[in-house]
């Protein structure tokens, strides 16, 4: 939809301002990681095992992935705006449930419900693709997610401070306040950008084979999913590495934990700056290679006996840079395989990415032991990073065969 009028801030009948899109994506990222420094204290509060509380990451990602399968077709049917507004409203109710949950089981149930905020992240990307063509979409997604990374960059640090000062519930009160503000912002600024498909939901879901039988769609989705899989494994395993192996307090862990977000900021800037010049495929390829380089170097240093908290967390910056280059571009590529199914493609590719992330997060949390150190996590991250390189190489080979 290249002929959309320029967005006017706080005007419900024009495309949204870039600030609104950035904050919509940011609240989803914030809800994913702000409370991670609190996991040890939450384990004590609910009198349960650490691995049970670590599931608050894995189950969130799993439900997040499942919901993305439905978000795209529903938004293609009824529009982006109503789905986003309802999703944020339900997120606010789930957040209150997390705060007042009397048991670990009820907390995890409400934590799963919090995953509805994924509509903000998925549909902010679909809105961008509604507005601009592929390479420009990659650049715009890069700039939006570059701004978004400020949130997860400082989120764990804020979460660690709130935990030590006011208790773990303070993290969820902050999420509630931020969510309420963004609900108002979306209501006031988010004009509808989607063109209603005119199809029933059943017909919408029957469009999935058109995407699932496209090798290029799978290649882009797997490149994005496997590249980000290294980060999701980090989400599941890094709190254990920080607290058990390196004996960090929550506030220090929060500061170190943001290392990939610093890199992600840089990677998204590179995407915004260079995607239009070099094309999405090259940017994805370079990003996946940078990702693998950072994890591989960290593993080598640990094997050589030079492993430390600074080495582990510092080299995670390269994972962030690689993801910042690969994810926006692979997403734009997946959404452009069938442009008329942009919302559906956004949801399905996101489900593939987050679903894989949920599995890797749970796997990392389950495999880590004090005796094994950081090695299981680093090996998982390296294998997924190298697999992402193979996925984008397949896309490039396929496009050469098709003469694209």
Is residue 201 predicted with pLDDT exceeding 80?
no
Across residues 116-132, what is the average pLDDT?
79
Q: Is the pLDDT of residue 335 over 50?
A: yes
pLDDT tens-digit series, residues 337-369: 776 666 677 777 877 887 787 788 778 878 888
> Does 373 or 142 have the greater pLDDT score?
373
CA distance 299 to 295: 6
What pLDDT does 336 receive? 78
Average pLDDT over residues 149-155: 67
Between 228 and 5, the more confident residue is 228
Rounded to 5 degrees, what angle do the CA atoms 57, 34, 351 make? 40
The mean per-residue pLDDT over the stretch 212-233 comes to: 88
pLDDT at position 85: 92
Burial of residue 371 (CB within 10 Å: 0-12, 13-18, 19+) is exposed
- Per-domain boundaries in the chain: 18-191+201-402
Q: What does the mean pLDDT of the chain come to?
A: 83
pLDDT at residue 107 is higher than 50: yes
Q: How many beta carbons lie within 10 A of that of residue 88, not counting itself?
A: 24
Of 43 and 211, more confident: 43
User: For 135, how many CA atoms within 13 A lie in the half-sphere containing its CB?
Assistant: 11
Query: Tokens representing 102?
Result: 């009397």
pLDDT digits (tens, 9 = 90+) for 300-326: 999 999 989 899 999 999 999 999 899
The number of beta carbons lying within 10 Å of the beta carbon of residue 102 is 8
d(CA 115, CA 121): 11
CATH class of the domain defined by 18-191+201-402: mainly alpha
90 versus 151: the higher-pLDDT residue is: 90
What's residue 11's pLDDT? 62
Report residue 133's pLDDT band, with 50, 70 and 90 as the boundaries. low
pLDDT tens sequence across 47-78:
888 778 878 877 888 888 788 778 777 887 77
Structure token pair of residue 112: 């799963």
pLDDT band at 4 (very low <50, low <70, confident <90, very high): very low
* Predicted pLDDT of residue 313: 93
In our burial notation (b when 16+ CB lie closer than 10 A, e otherwise), range 245-260 reads: bbebebbbbbbbbbbb
> What gap in Å lies between CA 349 and CA 211, rounded to an integer?
10
Average pLDDT in the 90-102 region?
95
């Amino acid at each position: 939809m290249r002929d959309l009028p320029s967005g006017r801030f706080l005007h419900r009948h024009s495309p949204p301002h870039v600030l609104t899109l950035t904050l919509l994506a940011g609240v989803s990222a914030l809800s994913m990681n702000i409370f991670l420094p609190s996991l040890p204290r939450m384990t004590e509060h609910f009198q349960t095992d650490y691995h049970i509380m670590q599931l608050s990451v894995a189950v969130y990602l799993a439900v997040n992935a499942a919901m993305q399968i439905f978000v795209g077709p529903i938004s293609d049917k009824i529009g982006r705006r109503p789905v986003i507004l309802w999703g944020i409203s339900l997120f606010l109710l789930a957040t209150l449930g997390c705060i007042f949950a009397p048991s670990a089981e009820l907390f995890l149930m409400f934590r799963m419900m919090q995953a509805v905020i994924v509509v903000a992240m998925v549909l902010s990307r679909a809105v961008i693709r509604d507005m601009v063509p592929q390479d420009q979409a990659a650049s715009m997604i890069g700039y939006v997610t570059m701004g978004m990374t400020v949130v997860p960059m400082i989120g764990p640090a804020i979460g660690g401070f709130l935990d030590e000062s006011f208790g773990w519930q303070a993290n969820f009160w902050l999420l509630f306040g931020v969510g309420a503000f963004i609900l108002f912002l979306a209501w006031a600024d988010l004009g509808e950008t989607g063109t209603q498909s005119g199809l029933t939901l059943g017909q919408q879901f029957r469009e999935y084979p058109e995407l699932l039988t496209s090798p290029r769609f799978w290649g882009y989705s797997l490149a994005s999913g496997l590249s980000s899989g290294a980060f999701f494994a980090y989400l599941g395993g890094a709190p254990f590495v920080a607290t058990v192996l390196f004996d960090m307090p929550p506030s220090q862990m929060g500061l170190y934990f943001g290392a990939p977000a610093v890199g992600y900021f840089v990677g998204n800037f590179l995407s915004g700056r260079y995607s239009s010049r070099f094309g999405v495929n090259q940017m994805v390829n370079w990003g996946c290679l940078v990702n693998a380089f950072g994890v591989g170097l960290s593993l080598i240093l640990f094997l050589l006996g030079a492993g430390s908290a600074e080495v582990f967390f510092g080299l995670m910056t390269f994972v962030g840079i690689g993801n910042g280059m690969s994810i926006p571009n692979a997403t734009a590529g997946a959404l452009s395989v069938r442009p008329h199914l942009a919302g559906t493609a956004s949801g399905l590719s996101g489900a593939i990415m987050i679903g894989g992330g949920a599995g890797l997060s749970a796997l990392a949390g389950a495999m880590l032991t004090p005796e094994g150190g950081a090695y299981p996590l680093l090996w998982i991250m390296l294998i997924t990073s190298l697999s992402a390189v193979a996925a984008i190489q397949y896309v490039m080979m396929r496009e050469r065969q098709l003469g694209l």
